[in-house]
Amino acid sequence: MKLDQIPPGIQARVKMVAVADDYQDAHGQLEDIGFLPGELVTVLRKGLLGHGPILVRVGSSTFALRESEAHMIELESI
């Protein structure tokens, strides 16, 4: 499942960051801020009507991601 698909309050583990070849910069940026395989992620809040920025906690940090960025992060259930 992708990070943009899980509801708030659910915790999962990062499986991988999967991006198209023309978005390799995004891959590095997401890994730099902590979206690494094995890290725990919790969706804290989603934008209005479930669309827009997604507030997530990865490790001990909190970030707001665009839906397109969240869609690049594959998760596995814990």
Q: The whole model's pTM is what?
A: 0.86
Biggest CA-to-CA distance, the chain: 32
CATH superfamily assigned to domain 3-77: Ferrous iron transport protein A (FeoA) (2.30.30.90)
Angstrom CA distances, 48 to 19, 23, 51, 52, 55, stand at 26, 26, 6, 7, 12
Intervals of the chain under pLDDT 70: 20-24, 50
> pLDDT digit string (tens) for 46-59?
988 767 899 999 98
For the chain, the structural domain boundaries read 3-77
- Is residue 26 classed as helix, strand or coil in its secondary structure? helix
The pLDDT assigned to 49 comes to 76
The pLDDT assigned to 26 comes to 80
Contacts of 40 (CB under 8 A, 6+ apart): 11, 12, 13, 14, 58, 59, 78
